[in-house]
Amino acid sequence: MRKNRILVAAGVALATLGSVASTNLPAETSLKSVFKNDFHVGAALNHRQAMGQDPKAEAIIAQHFNTISPENLLKWGSVHPQPETFNYKPADAYVALGKKHKQFIVGHTLVWHQQTPNWVFEDGAGKAASKEQLLKRMQDHIAAVAGRYKGQINGWDVVNEALNDDGTLRNSKWYQITGEEYLAKAFEAAQKADPKAELYYNDYNMWKPAKRDGAIKLVKSLQDKGLKVTGIGMQGHWGLEHPSIQQIEESIVKFSALGKVMITELDIDVLPNPSNRQGADIDATFDFDQKYNIYTKGLPNEVQQKLARRYAEIFALFHKHRDKISRVTFWGVTDGDSWLNNWPIKGRTSYPLIFDRNYQPKPALEAIVQAVKKKDS
């Protein structure tokens, strides 16, 4: 019955849309105002946006969002490419932009198995670093990066994607060299670097019961050690039909017992994919095949309507659980910015967000607003 109520609200929203190729929203409509009493709404920024080189995107960011995340510029390979070299210029600009617009600023990510240079895991002679070397390197990195933005970045994805879909720990180089210890040491170092910042565990496919249970076990074990884990980030790399609203809801409810719940990296993939892949493992790439790039001249109205309906029902769910959710962040500002144009196949034309390549709102934006207004009325 709960799911039905959410779907009804979403359906009513779609019925008010009129043409699915345009929206009827007043120009001054703002997502951050619509959800001002519920949770932060934001987007991930790319390098050009963070550096102030995309004024049209910045206009959207200023109008609609009260939180921002960095897509790549604070990942280890970007900000700390060599042992004694730090590239802070893009990150400084990103933080300055968030301050300019009085936004909740997120740092992403301190520890991840991807986009981390090989030297981090090596001893200088090309062999694997020792456990002690790697832990010290990680702690020094966190102290430097999180320490630089102490009091400026409000929350950090401390550890990103440390779990397999079955809930076990990923056999990354972090795990191979240090075992489970790196997880606790990472949160300990982040808390020391900025005691007031919120600290998160972030991962994809968190709607899957086994992975959800693994995340709960992991976060609870850290909290039981007295470590600060403010909440859990559920990456929202979802499709038009899967996962189900019920599956997403079950994880929101269960995660909320441990702290704040964030919906991070939200986008809806409308394109067909090889192997029916799910999630966001960036290693799972495929060669270009035209049959997986079917909307090169624009999104058909029928699919546009499905996307709007999907976003409406998802945000109706978020609104229902606004007492548990603290932040919802889209993974990109416009369709043209989305990583899904190049994953899992490079060169595709993707349409996963609520603003199109011309910086215009898609029907999904109005569907979200109308779904929430209906529930509040």
Establish if 63 belongs to a structural domain. Answer: yes
Establish if 32 belongs to a structural domain. Answer: no
User: Could you check whether the bond before residue 334 is cis, i.e. omega within 30 degrees of 0?
Assistant: no
CB 146 within 8 A of CB 86: no
Distance CA(132)–CA(249), nearest Å, equals 41
CA 296 to mean position of chain CA atoms: 26
- The SS3 of residue 263 is strand
Residue 5 has a pLDDT of 47
**Residue 118's CATH number:** 3.20.20.80
Residue 271 has a pLDDT of 85
Residue 298: give the domain boundaries: 2-18+49-360
pTM of the model: 0.90
Q: pLDDT band at residue 24, thresholds of 50, 70 and 90?
A: confident
Distance CA(243)–CA(237), nearest Å, equals 10
- For 130, 236, 269, the CA distances from 363, given in Å and listed in that order, are 53, 19, 16
Establish if 275 belongs to a structural domain. Answer: yes
To the query of whether residue 161 is one of the catalytic residues in this protein, the response is yes
Establish if 182 belongs to a structural domain. Answer: yes
| 325-340: pLDDT as tens digits | 999 999 999 999 998 8
pLDDT of residue 285 exceeding 60, the answer is: no
Count the domains in the chain.
1
Q: pLDDT band at residue 27, thresholds of 50, 70 and 90?
A: confident
Establish if 75 belongs to a structural domain. Answer: yes
Which is catalytic among the residues 161, 188, 198, 366?
161
Taking CB atoms within 8 Å and a gap of at least 24, the contacts of 178-182 are: 178/131, 178/134, 178/135, 179/131, 181/131, 181/135, 182/111, 182/134, 182/135, 182/138
- For 120, 134, 256, the CA distances from 128, given in Å and listed in that order, are 9, 9, 38
Q: pLDDT band at residue 194, thresholds of 50, 70 and 90?
A: very high
Mean pLDDT of 344-350: 80
To the query of whether residue 250 is one of the catalytic residues in this protein, the response is no
Establish if 375 belongs to a structural domain. Answer: no
Establish if 373 belongs to a structural domain. Answer: no
Residue 3 has a pLDDT of 46
CB 324 within 8 A of CB 295: no
Q: What is the dihedral of CA 225, 259, 248, 61, to 10 degrees?
A: -120
DSSP type of residue 81: -
Distance CA(35)–CA(45), nearest Å, equals 20
CB 126 within 8 A of CB 186: no
Residue 12 has a pLDDT of 42
pLDDT of residue 179 exceeding 80, the answer is: yes
Establish if 217 belongs to a structural domain. Answer: yes
Q: How is residue 205 written in tokens? A: 């496919």
Helical H segments across the chain, by residue range:
2-15, 31-34, 47-50, 55-64, 76-79, 89-100, 131-148, 173-178, 181-193, 209-224, 245-255, 301-320, 363-376
Q: pLDDT band at residue 125, thresholds of 50, 70 and 90?
A: confident
H or E element that contains 108:
strand 104-112
- For 62, 161, 164, 180, the CA distances from 172, given in Å and listed in that order, are 38, 10, 10, 11
Residue 18 has a pLDDT of 36
pLDDT of residue 220 exceeding 70, the answer is: yes
Cβ contacts of 273 within 8 Å, gap of 6 or more: 292, 344, 345
Residue 109: which of 50, 162, 31, 164 has the closest Cα?
A: 162
Which is catalytic among the residues 71, 188, 265, 366?
265
pLDDT of residue 279 exceeding 80, the answer is: no
Residue 297, phi then psi, degrees to nearest 5: -105, 15
